[in-house]
Amino acid sequence: MAVVALDEHYADKIEIRDRVENFHGNIVVYLHWEEHLSFCSAVAFPFPPAMPFGALVKDILPATYGAHPDFAAIDWDAVRWTVDGRETAPDPARSLAENGVGHKSLLRFRTPGLHGYRGTRS
Amino acid sequence: MSRTVSITLQNTDDARPIIEAITEDNPGATVHSYPGIVKIDREGSLTVHRASVETRLGRDWDPQEIHLSLVSMAGNLDEDDDYFRLAWAH
Amino acid sequence: MNAINKLGLKQRYALLTNGLDWEPSYQPKSAIFPYAEFEGIKIRDWSKWEDPFRLTMDSYWKYQAEKERKLYAVLDSFAQNNGQTGLSNARYVNAAKLFLTGITPAEYQAHRGFAHVGRHIPGVGPRIAAQMQSLDELRHAQTQIHTLSHYNRFFDGFHEFSHMHDRVWYLSVPKSFFDDARTAGPFEYFIAIGFAFEYVLTNLLFVPFMSGAAYNGDLATVTFGFSAQSDESRHMTLGIEVIKFLLEQHPDNLPIVQKWVDKWFWRGHRVLGLVAMMMDYMLPKKIMSWREAWDIYFTQAGGALFADLARYGLRPPKYADVATAEAEHLSHQNWSVFYQYTQAAAFHTWLPTPGEMDWLSEKYPNSFDQHYRPRFEMWAEMERDGKRFYNNALPQLCTVCQIPMAYTEPGDPTTICFRHSEHKGDRYHFCSDGCKDIFDGEPEKYSQSWLPVHQIFQGNCGGASMEEVLAWYRLNPGADNMDQAGSPDQAMWDQWMRMRDRVAG
């Protein structure tokens, strides 16, 4: 669709602020724990793409979600992941990039059997 | 389909004669009181007559003085020297 | 009495608007009005424009002066009599903080926008109406700042409202809304602010805020609010006249106008989520629920409006049904965001009391007890255990509305709504179909979004730590932010109340 703008060269002059180059070597990654909406939205992090997926699970998730009473009960082997909508079984030893995580990727995880505070998805 | 027109005025001494004139002159108008304001709804149309407000005020009244008391309205407006009217065309 | 006053209103209006215009002789019209054509709007005859208020500049000054006299008399009296001590309680003041930081700078933006439109629209009638509205908006910004400066003497969170508006994460929501409108062409701005915001949605902003103020003892805010609102009726009328005029002028205008109505309805709905939470959670004494206000001011009033506009082929805004369904959830989801990010907000938060929760159950029988009461009860338990719940990470934001992606799927309040688009190799995320459609319509524009969370990651907001970012916001930690309980505001209020009780014996 043609750009509606006074300047016919508008599209050539724009500055895309969230280009990956602007994040000092990091990529932006979004995380979301399904059925635990007391965390109001997905959360955002700048991560090095070479960071192992396992570090995300081991270091980032507890600091982010550890306050929830369900967190301690998570069976990590049963957790189901999607990356940008694709079901995936991430390899903890490999990097985010090798696990298909790119700039502004959305990682959603579901913890079977855990449905939030008193099962209310909170 | 709702054809409700509506006018909301401040609940003040200046506005009360206008509110009275509206309720008197527009049969079927419904008056809702909220904190600080009065909202008057009516099907189809609603008119503020200059003469009717003047009778209550005991002085000349310009329909544009309604600007001092108006809070909100719904409907197409028609304003002239002798009236201030809200209506839906359909 | 001079001659002009003997003329009828219609003649006077004609002389003092159309009669003031002239045909340029040494410059082409396209050079004088360079913004008039690029949006594709076609106007055959500007003289067909008529402002139903028929307000001329001389009357405008007369009535505005009278409004100012009344307002300042009340403000003076409020300050002289320490009106702040008559508020329903100290929590209420947070609604005024949200207003000053979120809405007042937007009034100033509206002033600038209408000044631009008042210069660049070729028709003299709308130009004069836009000039009046520009002056009105400036008056609103000034009177609001003046009024709320009284609270700044006593309460935290008011001191850097303008600076905060440009920087704080949630204030980017109203800021980007007006930046978006003001960077559009003059016709789109007119439809965005004049029609979609002023006509369709403004009642949901001002009437609840001001009635809420009236009910909570905030005489000063009530007075500026209603003083401003008396101008809003004129703005609403301008908005509806603009849309009718554009649709009457040329059939090619319909699809352009429809796209703007769809877009700006949704943009406005998202911004007003802040008002929803103010009504349902922040007012100590509540006037009506957001759901009820939506039913009165959108479903009923908007229904009649769009039935009237159907004769031009215009349909109600796309996703109006989604917005109506969201009214069951909006305020609860928004307050949950601020509760868990209280450390980064320039006003205080709290959990609803058991009495308030009962009120919410009654007002939201289809959603509150099932989805939101348990969430607040969980947080209340955690507070009692000394483990107040915070979100320690930064939220994912919607690229268009810039709100944390906290809204749920239409029809499923247990699943977050995620939407995305690809544009030139990059991925963009949205909270709703409404925001995604807006992006997809103008990806060049929205791919430039200044998203506060990403800006922090890029190192543009003072530093990487919470302390550094709050300092960059000029937010005083421990005073402006965190819970109401334990705040300096609350301590001061409690002391006032003790003194009053002692005096009363």
pLDDT in tens for each of the 122 residues of chain A? 578 999 999 999 999 999 999 999 999 999 999 999 999 999 999 999 999 999 999 999 999 999 999 999 999 999 999 999 999 999 999 999 999 999 999 999 999 999 999 999 99
Chain B positions touching C304 (Cβ under 8 A) are 1-5, 74-75, 88
Q: Who wins on pLDDT, C337 or B37?
A: C337
C226 falls within a domain: yes
Radius of gyration of chain A (CA): 18
- Predicted confidence band of residue C7 (pLDDT cuts 50, 70, 90): confident
Task: Give per-residue pLDDT as tens, B59-87.
Answer: 999 999 999 999 888 898 988 889 999 99
For C426, the closest of A16, A39, A121 (CB atoms) is A16
Q: Would you say the ipTM is above 0.95?
A: yes
Average pLDDT, chain C: 94
Task: Give per-residue pLDDT as tens, C238-286.
Answer: 898 999 999 999 999 999 999 999 999 999 999 999 999 999 999 999 8
Q: Is C306 on the interface with B (CB under 8 A)?
A: no
Exposed/middle/buried for C342, CB within 10 Å: 0-12, 13-18, 19+? buried
Task: Give per-residue pLDDT as tens, C128-163.
Answer: 999 999 999 999 999 999 999 999 999 999 999 999
**Could you tell me which chain A residue has the CA closest to the CA of C440?**
A1
Task: Give per-residue pLDDT as tens, C37-47.
Answer: 999 999 999 98
Q: How many CB atoms lie within 10 A of CB C477?
A: 13
CB B72 within 8 A of CB C229: yes
CB C446 within 8 A of CB C438: yes
**Joined tokens for residue A92:** 């903890």
- Predicted confidence band of residue C2 (pLDDT cuts 50, 70, 90): low
Residue type for position C380: A
Mean pLDDT of C53-71: 89
Is the Cβ pair C211, B37 closer than 8 Å? yes
Closest to C208 (Cα-Cα) out of C137, C256, C272, C302: C272
Residue among C69, C88, C308 with most chain B CBs within 10 A, to mutate: C308
For C214, the closest of B8, B36, B72 (CB atoms) is B36
Rounded to the nearest angstrom, the minimum Cα separation between B3 and chain C is 5
Is the Cβ pair A41, C389 closer than 8 Å? no
**Residue C505, pLDDT score:** 64
CB C343 within 8 A of CB C287: no
Chain C positions touching B73 (Cβ under 8 A) are 233, 236-237
Q: Is B83 on the interface with C (CB under 8 A)?
A: no
**Calpha distance C161→C102 (Å, rounded):** 8
> In the block, which residue shows the tokens 């305020």?
C331
For B78, the closest of C52, C236, C311 (CB atoms) is C52
Q: Which CATH class is domain B4-87?
A: alpha beta
**Residue C1, pLDDT score:** 45
CB C233 within 8 A of CB B84: no
Is the Cβ pair C391, A5 closer than 8 Å? no
Task: Give per-residue pLDDT as tens, C169-196.
Answer: 999 999 999 999 999 999 999 999 999 9
Chain C positions touching B64 (Cβ under 8 A) are 9, 53, 55, 59, 63
C390 falls within a domain: yes
Task: Give per-residue pLDDT as tens, C485-495.
Answer: 999 999 999 99
Rounded to the nearest angstrom, the minimum Cα separation between A31 and chain C is 9
Mean pLDDT of C450-469: 97
Within 13 Å, how many C-alpha atoms sit on residue C402's CB side? Answer: 27
Rounded to the nearest angstrom, the minimum Cα separation between A110 and chain C is 11
Within 13 Å, how many C-alpha atoms sit on residue C254's CB side? Answer: 12
Q: Is C270 on the interface with B (CB under 8 A)?
A: no
For B73, the closest of C63, C211, C233 (CB atoms) is C233
For A121, the closest of C392, C395, C414 (CB atoms) is C414
- Predicted confidence band of residue C287 (pLDDT cuts 50, 70, 90): confident
For residue C218, how far is the Cα from the chain centroid?
20
Q: Where are the alpha helices (DSSP H) in C91-123?
A: 93-102, 104-120
Residue among C189, C260, C378 with most chain A CBs within 10 A, to mutate: C378
Rounded to the nearest angstrom, the minimum Cα separation between C31 and chain A is 13
For C394, the closest of A3, A44, A108 (CB atoms) is A44
Residue among C230, C297, C305 with most chain B CBs within 10 A, to mutate: C230
Count of residues making up chain B: 90
Q: Is C377 on the interface with B (CB under 8 A)?
A: no
- Predicted confidence band of residue C6 (pLDDT cuts 50, 70, 90): confident
The count of CB pairs under 8 A between chains B and C is 107
Chain C positions touching A15 (Cβ under 8 A) are 448
Is the Cβ pair C304, B74 closer than 8 Å? yes
Is B86 in a helix, a strand, or coil?
strand
Per DSSP, what are the bridge partners of residue C423?
C426
Going by beta carbons, is chain B in contact with chain A, meaning 3 or more pairs sit under 8 Å apart? Answer: no
What is the full DSSP assignment across B26-79? STT-EEEEETTEEEEEEESEEEEEHHHHHHHHTS---GGGGGGTEEEEESEEEE
Q: Catalogue all structural domains in chain A, each as residue range(s) with its CATH number.
A: 22-119 (3.10.20.560)
CB A122 within 8 A of CB A40: no
Exposed/middle/buried for B13, CB within 10 Å: 0-12, 13-18, 19+? exposed
Domain ranges, ordered by start, for chain B? 4-87
For A40, the closest of C185, C404, C455 (CB atoms) is C404
Secondary structure in 3-state letters for C246-307:
HHHHCCCHHHHHHHHHHHHHHHHHHHCHHHHHHHHHHCCCCCCCHHHHHHHHHHHHHHHHHH
**Residue A2, pLDDT score:** 74
> Is the pLDDT at C3 greater than 60, yes or no?
no
C192 DSSP 8-state letter = I
Chains touching B, CB cut-off 8 Å, 3+ pairs: C
Is the Cβ pair A40, C394 closer than 8 Å? no
- Domain range for residue C484? 82-504
**Residue C489, pLDDT score:** 98
C438 DSSP 8-state letter = H
For A37, the closest of C390, C414, C454 (CB atoms) is C414
Is the Cβ pair C444, A34 closer than 8 Å? no
**Residue B72, pLDDT score:** 87
Q: Where are the alpha helices (DSSP H) in C364-465?
A: 373-384, 433-441, 443-446, 452-457
For residue C87, how far is the Cα from the chain centroid?
24
Is the Cβ pair C206, B72 closer than 8 Å? yes
Q: What is the CATH number of the domain that holds C336?
A: 1.10.620.20
Closest to C196 (Cα-Cα) out of C243, C231, C146, C135: C243
C52 falls within a domain: no
**Joined tokens for residue B66:** 């309604």
**Joined tokens for residue B2:** 């709702």
Chain C positions touching A103 (Cβ under 8 A) are 426-427
Q: Is B34 on the interface with C (CB under 8 A)?
A: yes
Residue type for position C31: A
For chain B, give the percent of residues with pLDDT over 90. Answer: 70
For chain C, give the percent of residues with pLDDT over 90. Answer: 80
Closest to C144 (Cα-Cα) out of C60, C62, C92, C213: C213
Within 13 Å, how many C-alpha atoms sit on residue C348's CB side? Answer: 22
**Could you tell me which chain B residue has the CA closest to the CA of C202?**
B72
For C300, the closest of B4, B36, B37 (CB atoms) is B4
- Cα-Cα-Cα-Cα dihedral sign, residues A45, A50, A56, A60: negative
Is the Cβ pair B79, C52 closer than 8 Å? yes
Radius of gyration of chain B (CA): 12
Please give the backbone phi and psi of residue A20, each rounded to the nearest 5 degrees, phi first. Answer: -60, -30
Count of domains in chain C? 1
**Calpha distance A105→A91 (Å, rounded):** 17
C370 DSSP 8-state letter = I
